[in-house]
């Protein structure tokens, strides 16, 4: 119900778009199987009802039909695999966790990561920045909170403790 309410609010934004009819249950199961994870219930609900979301200035990755306009840019598989390739192949960067998915990129450099149910941080969404070499900058308690922030600006994320000594060590190399 909260997801629906937030998406009703998002639908008022310029150029709002979702996948008509949402994603199929088989597609969601395939996503979980592919990454060997269990998605948080609120993100599953989002996928089932909306598939993905896009509006002027922001988006939420999801299950986008490959042959559509946004099939390459908003597809959660493509986004997750891209950041794994980028961060996991650069030794100075912290690797992307295997217990979740990338649900958005951060325009300043980085990504929003949704932790799966297998993680100690199940359901949280963390912002991991390129400028901190993949360390976490801030966290939302749930996908619902992250979606709410994206749509309404509230709630604010909780700031993480960035290890600046580690960053300085990398820069000194």
pLDDT digits (tens, 9 = 90+) for 73-127: 899 999 999 999 988 888 888 889 999 999 999 998 999 999 999 999 999 999 9
State yes or no: pLDDT of 164 exceeds 70.
no
How far is the C-alpha of 103 from the C-alpha of 112, rounded, in Å? 6
Structure confidence by residue, pLDDT tens digits, 127-142: 999 888 888 999 999 9
Assigned domain for 105 exists: yes
Assigned domain for 68 exists: no
Helices (H), the chain: 2-10, 25-35, 41-50, 76-88, 143-152, 164-172
Structure confidence by residue, pLDDT tens digits, 10-47: 999 999 999 999 999 999 999 999 999 999 999 999 99
The CATH number given to whatever domain includes residue 159 is 3.40.1580.10
State yes or no: pLDDT of 166 exceeds 80.
no
CA 11 to chain centre: 19
How far is the C-alpha of 11 from the C-alpha of 7, rounded, in Å? 6
Q: What is the CA radius of gyration of the chain?
A: 16
Assigned domain for 59 exists: yes
Q: Report the mean per-residue pLDDT for the chain.
A: 92
Query: Residue 54 is inside which H or E element, if any?
Result: strand 53-55
Rounding to the nearest 10 degrees, give the CA dihedral for residues 13, 11, 121, 35: -110
* Positive/negative CA dihedral, 132, 34, 119, 124: positive
CB-based contact 7:17 (threshold 8 Å): no
Structure confidence by residue, pLDDT tens digits, 51-66: 999 999 999 999 998 7
Assigned domain for 38 exists: yes
Q: Which domain holds residue 97?
A: 2-63+73-172
How far is the C-alpha of 32 from the C-alpha of 38, rounded, in Å? 6
Among the listed residues 98, 66, 103, the one whose alpha carbon sits nearest the alpha carbon of residue 84:
98
Number of domains in the chain: 1
pLDDT of residue 22: 95
State yes or no: pLDDT of 173 exceeds 70.
no
Assigned domain for 10 exists: yes
Assigned domain for 53 exists: yes
């Amino acid at each position: 119900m909260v997801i629906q309410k937030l998406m009703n609010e998002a639908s008022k934004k310029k150029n709002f778009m979702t996948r008509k009819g949402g994603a199929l249950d088989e597609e969601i199961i395939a996503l979980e199987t592919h990454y060997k994870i269990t998605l948080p219930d609120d993100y599953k609900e989002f996928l089932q009802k909306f598939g993905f979301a896009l509006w002027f200035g922001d988006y939420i990755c999801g299950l986008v039909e490959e042959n559509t306009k946004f099939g390459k840019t908003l597809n959660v598989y493509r986004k997750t695999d891209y950041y794994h390739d980028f961060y996991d192949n650069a030794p100075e960067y912290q690797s992307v966790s295997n217990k979740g998915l990338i649900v958005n990129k951060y325009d300043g450099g980085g990504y929003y990561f949704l932790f799966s149910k297998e993680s100690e941080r199940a359901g949280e969404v963390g912002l991991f920045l390129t400028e901190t070499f993949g360390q976490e900058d801030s966290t939302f308690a749930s996908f619902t909170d992250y979606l709410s922030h994206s749509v309404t600006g509230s709630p604010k994320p909780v700031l993480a403790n960035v290890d600046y000594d580690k960053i300085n060590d990398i820069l000194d190399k």
